[in-house]
Amino acid sequence: MTKRKIVVALGGNAILSSDPTAEAQKEALKQTASHLVKLIQNGDELIITHGNGPQVGNLLLQNIAADSEKNPAFPLDSLVAMTEGSIGYWLQNAMQNELAKLNIDKSVVSLVSQVIVDKADPAFENLSKPIGPFYTEEEAKKQMEESQVTFKEDAGRGWRKVVASPKPVAIKEIDSISALVEAGHVVVATGGGGVPVIEEDGKLIGVEAVIDKDFASQKLANDLGADMFIVLTGVDYVFVNYNKPNQEKLENVKVSDLKKYIEEEQFAPGSMLPKVEAVINFVENSPEGKAVITSLENLQALIEENAGTIVEK
């Protein structure tokens, strides 16, 4: 059996349910690890990425609540790095314990990853990613007057701070990640889309932004020459005409079909759409790679019978 190099992208919501405690998130990752090790048992090399939306939101709230002259709140790039570290630790701990249970001798390492973005990316002009708590219009406008931040009204629920969501250009630590994978380690990398940095005068500088984790994961998969890119979500399949009488699940689908469905606005922005766009990008930039969108619980069926939405050229 040929050993495949597989990048698996976990959503932040696969880690955090309704209980935001560290213990509950560690418990959720135990379940996650019990599914992910099936790929290793199958003989595959595994690289794991993860979201951090709920976690970085909670950490931001804690920083805002404790903000003072003696204990100032941290900037967003540092908060992303902190959640990369904490989730990476939980994941490597859960995976290591699961591998030990199965007597599989493999080490797991998590790497805080800097992802380079273009400072000329139009996303820095058109701020679109809401983060943090909701405010009244009056509170939001007061903060905008006092500091260089932007707030926007969010779907009738109140006003939220918005930041840039630039596209990933390069993963700074790609050579280190690649060397670890080639040495046979399970690697957790580019968590939460990676820490966003720009290059200026030969230096890397952290910026106030959030990189979409599906696009960062796709970039990682292409740069590593992965054979397969798996995006895990809450459903076993991608659907068209979702929740309508003529709902249809997509099993084996071509890139051209997915592009047609995007034109028909079949996929929700901020939900399924970035996942579909990421798998299209991966397949188009991979000589023979294929991509899959499915659920964590469906991994065994994917291994045994290719179940899930499978995307090929």
Catalytic positions are 12-13, 129, 213, 275
**Spatial distance between the Cα atoms of 180 and 260, rounded to a whole number of angstroms:** 38
Residues 6+ apart with CB under 8 A from 300: 35, 38
Q: For residue 236, what are its two tokens?
A: 């076993």
CB-count exposure of residue 107 (10 Å: 0-12, 13-18, 19+)? middle
Residues 6+ apart with CB under 8 A from 152: 127, 130, 159, 160, 162
Find where tokens 């804690």 sit. Answer: 62
Find where tokens 């629920």 sit. Answer: 157
Which SS3 state, helix, strand or coil, does residue 42 take?
coil
Q: For residue 222, what are its two tokens?
A: 């292409």
Asked whether 239 and 248 are in contact (CB, 8 A), the reply is: yes
Q: For residue 175, what are its two tokens?
A: 């050579």
Q: For residue 239, what are its two tokens?
A: 């659907």
What amino acid occupies position 62? Q
**Spatial distance between the Cα atoms of 176 and 40, rounded to a whole number of angstroms:** 21
| Whole-Å CA distances, 258 to 67, 199, 273 | 46, 34, 10
- DSSP alpha helices (H): ranges in 209-291? 213-223, 255-263, 272-284
Asked whether 197 and 116 are in contact (CB, 8 A), the reply is: yes
Residues 6+ apart with CB under 8 A from 118: 166, 167, 169, 198
